[in-house]
Amino acid sequence: MKTKLDARLLQEAEHFAFRFACEDCVHFDPGSPDAPARCAHGYPPGPRRDQLEIARGEITFCKEFELR
């Protein structure tokens, strides 16, 4: 789901400690030294925690995200 990344979203994300990244999702396997991180549903890497800081214009959220 694509969402416009504007000043209001950034402000509210910080205020409410917004969780949206793969690292916060129950379906995320962080991997090990021998295996890369992956999504248990087989999706390509989704948004990461630093995405709000580096994304420009819009951000794509995963609709299968479930809070860990």
* Contact positions vs ligand SF4 (CB under 6 A): 22, 25, 27-28, 39, 41, 43, 46, 62, 64-65
User: 64 and 14 in contact (C-beta within 8 Å)?
Assistant: no
User: 47 and 24 in contact (C-beta within 8 Å)?
Assistant: no
> Nearer Cβ to ligand SF4, position 2 or 7?
2
- Please, what is the minimum distance in Å from the beta carbon of residue 9 to ligand SF4? 18
> Nearer Cβ to ligand SF4, position 7 or 18?
18
Give strand ranges (E) for the chain: 2-4, 28-29, 38-39, 58-60
